Structure 1
């Protein structure tokens, strides 16, 4: 009897393992069956929920503008430019083909209007106009784009233009695009633009221009509020989408789908999967102070370490959260000058003592170098106090 059971048990185990493998492959094909590459991540933790050929270098088409928009938002936040600045259109910017808002040479629009054109209808002319406004030239802005990608640790991305129009050696990956989108979403005001389904530019003129979002999921999938579509004959249909539901934000990326219908269907499946299977357990809000770090030779002696983004733990739906804990690790000391946003520590989220994720803690304010007089008074105060 034992001799008979042994082969049966062995066959059962082999069949079970085979079934799991087939199920996993079917599940993968079900989510993104005819794209070249795809990825699904939870935004706060960066956890990958699904992946397919995520490091394959492919033309990103107009998803390139995610980096363009990131640099625009960073320029606004740093005070280099403002939403109300007037941006003049050069002949070069006006000459861009493809998607556009038909800017004329010499025409001026505000940064806000240009950003609306880029985010909603993927305007190539507005992208180049903004690049020239920020960096002085499109070439200078492209250099900024590539440096920013490297700073984010994205080594499989190379930009040759600001628009995504076809060009040799202009490429990215599903993973890199998701990370760029994650970084862009730190600037929450970008959603005010990417969530718009339709609107107008030049509204009170005889050249009134109707904007309709190239990302149809903004209208047809509840919770989708961005980010960027892309299409060229080389890249096929691409989309980086983001959606929020029950406090959880996810990012889905598809490269190289054969049709726009297929692209939207695959992203929809990924979003459905994430919201049906996962949830987030909120821990800290963005900007939560979690300690102070000493600043050597600074105008202030210390700076607050705050969360760069909202902090949450990703869990399977129905999973218990009582074993989730956090650990704060702060730099012992940093040297002035310190810029607001510089990393000064790390927050580690653990479950049952095992690390789930790491998030940067950043300085909540600028700290300049102390003047010689400030340093003298401190030294004198220490001397008198010791006596």
Structure 2
């Protein structure tokens, strides 16, 4: 064997040995799991990006997932100081007579807001939900109006509420995508009370009832949110989990059993954590650039983002991303705070993966007569030579 042939074979052997290491650096992303459910969605909580979905905007009966909105409004009312956790709530006959799952409050008794909140979230009490609705809005119908107004604010375009419980009504519907949006708001807008969603049981009135979210027992990274079930809706679940700083939200509608909704939701969470990752590039309100201003009281304006720039992508792609800042070619006063004056483009190779507006971080007022005149002259000549 001559030296050239030997060298070629050694080179080929090195190439074959090295190749698996190269391939391993780029993990293969399999197709997302197909679930035994009517609809589902898997969302990264931080970025709000959807990782996978099926019929996620289909309008379906949400059953007790409705109570996520009931509890969310209650916690916001506490946060705003309009009600207090220690406030005592009178239990009406309407609340007491409400059918379905119950906290077992008694008509004419008084129950604290805090206990009702636990009864809504952990025990899925229809009676507790109606009592809370009446305490906040005076009637369940009025509370449903509050629910719909809040849904509109959150961009829940495929949701309409008729009651605080999720009991069947042809005009009461939501979608997996909308429930994921609501879950994200619950987690980030009112984190003080989010810990209730992870509690496995609640003892009240000498009755101990377990949380129906089986994933709280099966997966220690799961810390919420809520189950739902009616004959019409099937078995539904909204769940959230955190692993290595990454939080995912999975919502499943219309499975055929309590065991199935937990198992199918677990498939989504496993897929998301195994094959995707999230990275925050820039925080809102942080100065990323300074741009020249024409005809203003200031010569420059600070530019930043109105919202955090966070992205979720298949593992291995985030390290390839590059962010570029592109300012508007001519920025002229007056400039309002929050006014778009440029863009941030996040690219993978030459493909733009995400675009976000760069906004003015402070206002710039229009300059005086001589400043405007001088800048007009400069702009005239600038235009001639550019």
- Common fold, TM-score beyond 0.5? yes
Of 305-314 and 191-200, deviating more is 305-314
In the alignment, the residues of structure 1 paired with residue 239 and residue 346 of structure 2 have an alpha-carbon distance, to the nearest angstrom, of 29
SS at match of 1:140: helix
Moved >4 Å (runs of 4+): 305-311, 326-329, 343-350, 357-361
Q: Is 1:327–1:348's contact at 8 Å kept on the other side of the alignment?
A: yes
Q: Is the counterpart of residue 351 in structure 1 residue 354 in structure 2?
A: no
Q: Deviations over 1:216-240 (max 9, x none)?
A: 1012112111111100011110111
Alignment of 1:1-387 (within 5 A): 27-28=31-32, 30-32=33-35, 34-186=36-188, 187-201=190-204, 207-283=205-281, 289-290=285-286, 312-321=310-319, 323-325=321-323, 332-333=335-336, 350-352=345-347, 354-356=352-354
Paired position in structure 1 for 2:13? none
Rate the CA distance shift 1:104–1:183 in 2: closer, same or farther, 3 A.
Answer: same
Structure 1 residue 263: deviation in Å? 1.2
Q: Is 1:350–1:357's contact at 8 Å kept on the other side of the alignment?
A: yes
Rate the CA distance shift 1:148–1:320 in 2: closer, same or farther, 3 A.
Answer: closer
Q: Is 2:61–2:233's contact at 8 Å kept on the other side of the alignment?
A: yes
SS at match of 1:163: coil
In the alignment, the residues of structure 2 paired with residue 227 and residue 347 of structure 1 have an alpha-carbon distance, to the nearest angstrom, of 38
Q: Deviations over 1:121-166 (max 9, x none)?
A: 1111111111111111111100011111122222221111110011
Structure 1 residue 317: deviation in Å? 2.0
In the alignment, the residues of structure 1 paired with residue 269 and residue 63 of structure 2 have an alpha-carbon distance, to the nearest angstrom, of 22
Q: Deviations over 1:270-304 (max 9, x none)?
A: 0000000011224467xx6536xxxxxxxxxxxxx
- Any stretches of 5+ residues in structure 1 without a counterpart? 1-23, 202-206, 292-304, 335-342, 364-387
Structure 1 residue 53: deviation in Å? 1.1
SS at match of 2:122: helix
Structure 1 residue 181: deviation in Å? 1.3
Q: Is 1:100–1:125's contact at 8 Å kept on the other side of the alignment?
A: yes
In the alignment, the residues of structure 1 paired with residue 357 and residue 184 of structure 2 have an alpha-carbon distance, to the nearest angstrom, of 13
Structure 1 residue 82: deviation in Å? 2.1
Question: Normalising by the residue count of structure 2, what TM-score does the alignment of the two structures yield?
Answer: 0.71
Structure 1 residue 43: deviation in Å? 1.0
SS at match of 1:50: strand
Paired position in structure 2 for 1:10? none
In the alignment, the residues of structure 1 paired with residue 263 and residue 60 of structure 2 have an alpha-carbon distance, to the nearest angstrom, of 21
Rate the CA distance shift 1:53–1:137 in 2: closer, same or farther, 3 A.
Answer: same
Rate the CA distance shift 1:263–1:345 in 2: closer, same or farther, 3 A.
Answer: farther
Q: Deviations over 1:72-104 (max 9, x none)?
A: 122122121122222221111111111111111
Rate the CA distance shift 1:113–1:41 in 2: closer, same or farther, 3 A.
Answer: same
In the alignment, the residues of structure 1 paired with residue 341 and residue 137 of structure 2 have an alpha-carbon distance, to the nearest angstrom, of 32
In the alignment, the residues of structure 1 paired with residue 305 and residue 131 of structure 2 have an alpha-carbon distance, to the nearest angstrom, of 34
Rate the CA distance shift 1:36–1:77 in 2: closer, same or farther, 3 A.
Answer: same
Q: Is 2:344–2:358's contact at 8 Å kept on the other side of the alignment?
A: no
Give the paired residue count. Answer: 310
